[in-house]
Amino acid sequence: MLNNASGFKKIYIACGFTDLRRGIDGLASIIRHQFCLDPFDRDTLFLFCGRRNDRIKGLLWEGDGFLLLYKRLGTGAFSWPRTKEEAMLITEEQYRLLMGGFDIIARHPIHEVDGAKEIL
């Protein structure tokens, strides 16, 4: 289920660290109060990562109840964005990269150069 993004309307990741001892109510509270999002948004997957990069939790409202997902990798690690304390909406392609262990946020992003400045 977590290896592909099929069936999800939206996918959010909680950047930074999350205490993975939290259950459904605790994660739903983070979604609602910290990120100001609706945990009852049907077919929207919310992903959380703790300090160890080899495990994640997901929370999904299916219309009749929550589905709590937990994945622990046998080898490797997730490349989880740790710099912000916000929820980030990601695309299906970014989701596939994340599940494959790749970075989804550039470490040294390319910025547009002001055309009025001379580059030497």
Encode pLDDT of 18-53 as tens digits: 999 999 999 999 999 999 999 999 999 999 998 888
DSSP one-letter code for 9: S
Q: Which one, of 108, 111, 105, lies nearest residue 91 by Cα?
A: 105
* Secondary structure (3-state) at 31: helix
Encode pLDDT of 79-95 as tens digits: 887 776 678 888 888 88
User: What is the structure's pLDDT at 96?
Assistant: 84
DSSP one-letter code for 80: -
Separation of alpha carbons 40 and 51, rounded Å: 26
- Beta strands (DSSP E) in 1-120 are 10-14, 44-49, 55-61, 66-72, 87-90
